[in-house]
């Protein structure tokens, strides 16, 4: 019997992957269970960095069809997929995207993967701080604008000559509160702008440091 080569495993994996995108809750569809390309399924799981517990999910998905996973073929494919996953470059990609690591890489190659993963995590953290600061600035600006419009509306109401003394007091109290909240929002915006500048410098420094090794992003 001819043993499928790596190229055939990869091609089969792409076929299985296309079906996996269709399956909603179950990890495998009925057709995939019946087809039983466990080498390709294992390759996909390995290339995605999934733990061995994934095979249990597949077994549950295939219970109703009466099909049990072929553990030997699955492990063969998964080992090939892990060769693609457990690289320094991919570790950087996984870390930068903020994905978790399930401890799946074999000991000989795990240090290389973890080195890239740690670098990617640093970039992810810096980019997350930058994104958060930009969101804070946008929120603060919107809040300041909203309070300014509300204060303008109160000032218009205060021009009404028919207001009672009690209504005037209430409107003035509200106006003072709105102006205070606007000042607070403006100050929050200044702090967010400072945080943006700091985060941008950090991201730029990391890009200059890592781009020669991992490529630009």
Residue range 50-98, pLDDT digits in tens: 999 999 999 999 999 999 999 999 999 999 999 999 999 999 999 999 9
Which pLDDT value is given to residue 20? 44
- Given this model, what pLDDT does residue 25 score? 58
Residue 122 has pLDDT above 90, yes or no: yes
Token digits of residue 72: 């030997």
Closest to 80 in 3D by CA, of 132, 185, 29, 6: 6
Q: Using CA atoms, how far apart are residues 172 and 154, in angstroms rounded to an integer?
A: 8
Residue scoring higher pLDDT (5 or 101)? 101
d(CA 53, CA 57): 7
Q: Average model confidence (pLDDT) for the chain?
A: 91
Nearest partner of 108 among 127, 129, 89, 86, judged by Cα: 86
pLDDT in tens, 164-192: 999 999 999 999 999 999 999 999 999 99
pLDDT, tens digit (0-9, with 9 covering 90-100), for 14-27 = 444 444 443 445 88
Tell me how far apart the alpha carbons of residues 102 and 118 are, in angstroms, rounded to a whole number.
Answer: 14
pLDDT at 216 over 80: yes
Tell me, what's the pLDDT at 2? 43
The pLDDT assigned to 26 comes to: 84
**In the predicted model, what is the mean pLDDT of residues 9-13?**
48
Q: How much is the pLDDT for 5?
A: 55
Picking from 94, 95, 114, the residue whose alpha carbon sits closest to that of residue 105 is 114
Q: Is 113 exposed, middle or buried (0-12, 13-18, 19+ CB in 10 A)?
A: buried
């Amino acid at each position: 019997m001819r043993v499928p080569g790596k190229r055939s495993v990869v091609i089969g994996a792409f076929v299985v992957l296309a079906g996996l995108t269709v399956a909603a809750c179950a990890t495998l569809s009925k057709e995939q269970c019946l087809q039983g390309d466990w080498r390709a399924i294992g390759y996909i799981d390995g290339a995605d960095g999934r733990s061995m517990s994934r095979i249990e999910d597949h077994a549950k998905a295939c219970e109703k069809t009466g099909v049990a996973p072929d553990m030997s073929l699955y492990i063969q494919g998964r080992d090939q997929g892990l060769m693609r996953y457990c690289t320094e470059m991919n570790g950087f990609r996984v870390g930068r995207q903020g994905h978790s690591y399930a401890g799946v890489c074999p000991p000989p190659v795990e240090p290389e993967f973890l080195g890239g993963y740690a670098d990617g995590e640093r970039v992810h953290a810096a980019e997350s701080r930058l994104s958060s600061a930009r969101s804070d600035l946008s929120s603060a600006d919107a809040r300041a604008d909203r309070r300014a419009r509300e204060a303008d509306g109160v000032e218009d109401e205060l021009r009404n000559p028919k207001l009672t003394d009690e209504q005037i007091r209430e409107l003035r109290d509200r106006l003072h509160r709105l102006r205070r909240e606007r000042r607070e929002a403006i100050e929050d915006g200044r702090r967010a702008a400072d945080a943006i500048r700091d985060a941008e410098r950090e991201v730029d420094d990391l890009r200059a440091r890592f781009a020669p090794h991992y490529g630009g992003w």
